[in-house]
Structure 1
Amino acid sequence: MGLPVFNKDISEQEMDRMVDNATTASNFLKAISHEGRLMILCHLVSGEKSVTELEDLLAARQAAVSQQLSRLRLEGLVVSRREGKTIYYRLADHRPRRMLELVYALFCAEEDDQTDASTA
């Protein structure tokens, strides 16, 4: 699946939709462009985690983790639930997972896997 070819005969309504989608995509990419937020999302791919679990996995202070989770929640990438005093986070939908799979394939997979993916 490739990128669509843009026709100069795009309606005003279609152009408005494209602008809205570009804004949404830009905000999404900005949200995942921070190393700490990206790592949080990577950990959440395997399932729901508490803030304390994320602190331990990231070896980060609670304030820093909470700040990054707040941004991810604001952008709609994670959702939270409270159980007693513990707050749990999970991915909000399929978008972060799909993007992380691509990032993993491009930057984390073995070199042979990356070569195979680039020739597909």
Structure 2
Amino acid sequence: MNPEVMRASSAQAARVMQLLSHPDRLLILCLLSQGEFTVGEIEQQLELHQPMLSQHLNRLRQQELVTTRREGKYIHYKLADERTIKIMNLLYNLYCPTDE
């Protein structure tokens, strides 16, 4: 592999891991791995207060880990791409308890 490509890829991976290193952002991404949610639904399910939740969602959106769609006055969030889904599925399988 080309060293310049590797350097760019490692920088991108480091940015993603930095975002994942915050427990609340990781929790938000874990919830979004289950589907699409509005800000209000995320706030209610995760018991995160609106100002901090908005800041976390904004960072995740800026780094293109989540996408949004507007429906009336509601903004719906979901994971942005297959890479993010794969990361969250791996983390879920490794760290989230099962009923078994």
Structural mapping, 1:1-120, within 5 Å = 14-109=2-97
Q: Percent identity?
A: 40
Aligned-pair CA distance for 1:106:
2.0
Q: Give the C-alpha shift of residue 71 in structure 1.
A: 0.7
Unaligned runs of 5+ in 2: none
Q: Which has the higher contact order (CA 8 A, sep 6+)?
A: 2
Deviations 1:62-105 (A, max 9, x none): 11111000010011100011112111101101122211222122
Report the alpha carbon displacement of residue 109 of structure 1 after superposing the two structures with TM.
4.0
2:49, 2:96 → 1: CA distance? 26
Q: How far off is 1:25 after superposition?
A: 0.4
Structure 1 distance, partners of 2:69, 2:8, is: 29
Q: Distance in 1 between matches of 2:89 and 2:66?
A: 17
Normalising by the residue count of structure 1, what TM-score does the alignment of the two structures yield?
0.76
Note the aligned Cα RMSD (angstroms).
Answer: 1.6
4+ residue stretches of structure 1 with deviation over 3 A? none
Size of the aligned set, in residue pairs, is 99
Deviation at residue 43 of structure 1 after TM alignment: 0.8
- Higher Rg of the two aligned structures: 1
What secondary structure sits across from 2:69 in the alignment? Answer: strand
Q: Which runs of 5+ in 1 are unaligned?
A: 1-9, 114-120
